[in-house]
Structure 1
């Protein structure tokens, strides 16, 4: 840890050098998205005085701009009302398989075990969920409140854990992320949480023993010091908008056209923590989504690489499409369809398509090795006619021979398509949101949650996990900070 701000603008300031504190609270929360709001609510519920500093004029951030999908399960009231059986054990098995390789069991276990209680807490804050299920392969624009939001019901995960939909939405037409944040911020306001907008956190304030006791902020062009009697919680988002950090940790993400997040997802909170001695892990991890659905008919096609070979079951979650296409196939992939399965992707308006009256002609137009696509299509069609997929086990409802010309191939190279990405790497935390050092010790007075941390997803992802684990571990961080000694 260094306190030399001349060389590192994020270097913490020594508490002994602070002459005056402009404000103070038991807990200072940096960033007012779902993680920060949940942290503030829980700390205030425990009796702490909470001050939130938010660099934007108002709270919400990426959470408000999101689809509002919250990943919870294990047998929530909504799941049960709609006839879906789920248990914490099945949820745990799925997450350990889908959030890897190497997800942190110490985070996944409490998230699964207490997920039902967390859903109940969300309802207590004022979120309303409609007893209606959305069966599509994408986020609904209607007011249904439950959907499959990952790969729970497809191979290989459906063999590992009993499938159950765990994507929970507040029941509202339009922006579900906005209503989520409106509800959480109203709950925080009822608990007398104070918020300072247009206030940029720049550095942490630390004692000589390393304890975090405050934040240096900038507001209206002036630097101010804020004192935290019990601790500081960093909940300021990831770093998808920081080109230098992307180049250092995950340069392949720079090929993704759509950065999921606001420009305030610039890694500043992560940098502040690193300067104070925090450990980061999985900084190369990201959610990479290829939003090809709708139309759902694309699941009937063949996803092939530059050798004309299939490499994934096409009924998989869109995030799995994106991750495996970019990281395992360098993005050099095509979606092969016939006339009935073709459609205009809603979220990829400018698609690059080549066509042919036969698979052989299409293969030539794609520039694939001679015979490669023809062999793949012949094998696929033979088994699809019997409702089988011996290679990748696509569900029978999406299996049929691709036999009706004209045939098309949609170019899914990142430069010709739309890959959506945000970062998953960040602070190493324990189950109570305490930020760890590289040696595995908690930094006194420093907490974190949301995409500022490396949460339950270490690479694989399911939609809603960021709002799910961000709000869950935000609450735990708030509770831990509120009950910490002064």
Structure 2
């Protein structure tokens, strides 16, 4: 992929241009959506990206949370979904992260978002996954991606499949389609005349004498320099390794890329009446993590080198305020195979942590907040055999490798529950009592003690199996984490707000640079959906400002 041709100037000069209406900082999903919409409105747009574009979205699974009656839902037999039903469910998930009017707008526009993405080349399908999964195999593209069927969510809204995975070409044996999602939009943006400058980092938001947004100062490697392609190659490879949680390799590549950029980048300024900050999250910034999420050292960062909090700091530098910075999501996904959910997860005290049929990130957050990030999945031999059988059809690389690792290596086995508890360093007496309560509720046809609605089977037949699912920063049992906070923004426009909640005219934030739909809690597809929503919102308003 080559960057669009930029203005060519002498190295280390400080050229100034004034023919751009909108500058977008960051070429991930939020940035690319903002750029496309602004260009559709007739604005001239320049996108700056510190790497090669794509950001964390391009190394993701390519899932967008959408509902209200999409074409894909209709194809799968769920045409009865409505924006109102979607709103009722998401209100439980989103809480007060955004105001009610913003959430209502998000739901009402959801069907249109899918149609808009399809217009710009992203492909979706109504092939519904028939089993509970954290990510569908290559045959399926629509699934229940959150807590739709879990308590209390199933009591407030009718469960509908709202995880829409983009159709794409498997790469390296894996069916992750985030790159297909992003590439389709990038190609559309180029056709619309959006200019891209890769290997460029915004370092300052410029203000005029009256405090109005005037543009940005940035540093960039000239796209004709020999080091330009080397830099983009290093950042592209690093992003792939970050996506695979191979962070030691990724960080080495990032260091080489940074050294190249520091040596060869030179300063420029770009004048524009509007600046949209869409530069990713802050999980890669050690100072922010130590301040807001000190426990995150026990997890692996989910993102790329660009998720260094720079976009958030740019907003703060001109008066922007932040919120939800200590909110997070962690992923200890326990399915597929879905039979893993038939077991129970206990703390070191032997007590149930939460309903196991919750979405994996929702469950993990409870495990972190209330149990120190420690948990143990308990199954009996019948459940274990079901896991082995289902793994053949319900998993695909790289998840298949992880499940095989659990089945053949990363577990404890014992003839009795008490012996298993001792191996796991769990209270034996409490574990026995917890299992009895779980079994009694099933045999007496009573509600589950912690509210699990499905996937219930008694734990009675030895030998018994235990898997340590506690937080781990590396290896096959790694637990990824991502921060959810950002700059506070105005609901209708996406303009950044200052400490007194006044709008900073001409400055917008989108995606993980902003507090948004997924800032309170995360379910699969909600971050990409928020990128599309907030990016389009900022682009529309900026183009017309």
TM-score, length of structure 2 as denominator length: 0.81
Match of residue 426, structure 1, among 480, 486, 507:
486
Match of residue 315, structure 2, among 267, 273, 279:
273
The alpha carbon displacement at 1:362 in A equals 1.8
The alpha carbon displacement at 1:289 in A equals 1.0
More off after superposition, 166-175 vs 19-28? 19-28
Q: Does 1:298 align with 2:340?
A: yes
Point out the structure with the larger strand share. 1
More off after superposition, 383-392 vs 233-242? 383-392
**CA distance 1:370–1:134, change in 2 (3 Å):** closer
What secondary structure, in the 3-state scheme, does the structure 1 residue paired with 2:217 have?
strand
CA distance in 2, matches of 1:102, 1:38: 22
Counterpart in the other structure of 2:353: 311
CA distance in 1, matches of 2:360, 2:297: 19
In the TM superposition, 1:455-474 aligns within 5 A as 455-474=516-535
More off after superposition, 347-356 vs 306-315? 347-356
More off after superposition, 387-396 vs 106-115? 387-396
What secondary structure, in the 3-state scheme, does the structure 2 residue paired with 1:94 have?
helix
Q: Deviations over 1:221-267 (max 9, x none)?
A: 21111111x300000000010011111111122211x3211111000
More off after superposition, 311-320 vs 60-69? 311-320
Gaps of 5+ in 2: 1-12, 171-175, 222-264, 389-398
What secondary structure, in the 3-state scheme, does the structure 1 residue paired with 2:155 have?
helix
Counterpart in the other structure of 1:405: 462
What secondary structure, in the 3-state scheme, does the structure 2 residue paired with 1:262 have?
coil
What secondary structure, in the 3-state scheme, does the structure 2 residue paired with 1:245 have?
helix
Counterpart in the other structure of 1:68: 62
Counterpart in the other structure of 2:150: 154
The alpha carbon displacement at 1:103 in A equals 4.6
Match of residue 373, structure 1, among 431, 456, 467:
431
Residues 144 and 162 in structure 2, CA contact (< 8 A), matched pair in contact too: yes
Residues 441 and 449 in structure 2, CA contact (< 8 A), matched pair in contact too: no
In the TM superposition, 1:44-443 aligns within 5 A as 44-56=39-51, 58-84=52-78, 85-100=80-95, 103-135=98-130, 136-174=132-170, 175-220=176-221, 221-228=265-272, 230-256=273-299, 258-342=300-384, 343=387, 346=400, 347=402, 349=405, 352-386=410-444, 388-396=446-454, 398-415=455-472, 417-431=477-491, 432-443=493-504
CA distance in 2, matches of 1:411, 1:130: 36
Q: Deviations over 1:253-299 (max 9, x none)?
A: 2211x321111100011111111100111001112110222222210
What secondary structure, in the 3-state scheme, does the structure 1 residue paired with 2:114 have?
helix
CA distance in 2, matches of 1:103, 1:419: 27
Residues 107 and 455 in structure 1, CA contact (< 8 A), matched pair in contact too: no
Residues 363 and 370 in structure 1, CA contact (< 8 A), matched pair in contact too: yes
Q: Deviations over 1:89-121 (max 9, x none)?
A: 111111111123655324312101211111111
TM-score, length of structure 1 as denominator length: 0.91
**CA distance 1:410–1:273, change in 2 (3 Å):** same
**CA distance 1:320–1:264, change in 2 (3 Å):** same
Residues 36 and 192 in structure 2, CA contact (< 8 A), matched pair in contact too: yes
